[in-house]
Amino acid sequence: MVNLKEQVGIKAAEFVKDGMIVGLGTGSTAYYFVAELGRRIKEEGLKITAVTTSSVTYEQAEGLGIPLKAIDDVEVVDLTVDGADEVDLALNGIKGGGGALLMEKIVATNSKDCIWIVDESKQVETLGAFKLPVEVVQYGAENLFRHFEKKGYSPAYREKDGQRFVTDQGNYIIDLDLKVIQDAEALANELDHTVGVVEHGLFLNMISKVIVGTPEGPVIIEKWVSLERGRV
């Protein structure tokens, strides 16, 4: 059986060239991209420097011998490759299922180009079926939770091993069960201006292409092609 996550991870690694500073995403799909970069460094002599988006990815990359730098030690990232939990027709998406949305968005924002790697199940017409992660500071989190309840956003604290999940930056994640997000731009703006919210999982207008894993092989969807489809 074809491993679609491995398939797109290997395909995405083809876009990485010598001398690049590369952003390494987090999650079960990005894992294969990082693994392929490690192979290319070892077997092909690929010369890159990488920036990671989580402690998990840092440990994987370090173990593979991938040269690493902190995001503050590079002026710009040439290419970031990451997974996504949902991606719509305009190539906007929801990320943060792995709990690394803050670092992922910081690296993506500082990147010249971003590519997402997903399987077909992550493609949707409208965002929202996947619960939207919102990273919040611990201080005042209960008030934020009640605020989201009043808004009808059906909030729930992210948990791990029976305890509230704590991000690499020491914050909580509140997942919003919105079902359908009619206006992602408006919601992103609202959350951006909500005191106590550190970051949210709406990644809008941030990528150039998506590589979709299919049983027939990887399919590359470019931003402009996607927008044309959306108008049809």
Is 104 noted as a catalytic residue in this protein? yes
Query: Which string of DSSP letters, residue by residue, matches 54-96?
Result: SHHHHHHHHHTT--B--GGG-S-BSEEEE--SEE-TTS-EE--
For residue 217 the two structure tokens come to: 């092989």
| SS3 state at 101 | helix
Q: How far is CA 2 from the centre of its chain?
A: 23
Q: Strand 49-52: give its sheet, edge to edge.
A: 49-52, 21-24, 79-82, 114-119, 209-213, 219-222
Closest CA to 52 of 36, 32, 41, 67: 67
104-136 burial, b if ≥16 CB within 10 A, otherwise e?
A: bbbbbebbebbbbbbbeebbbeebbebbbbbbb
Catalytic residue among 86, 104, 135, 199: 104
For residue 97 the two structure tokens come to: 């299922």
For residue 109 the two structure tokens come to: 């924002």
Neighbours of 90 (CB within 10 A): 15
Which residues are known catalytic residues?
104
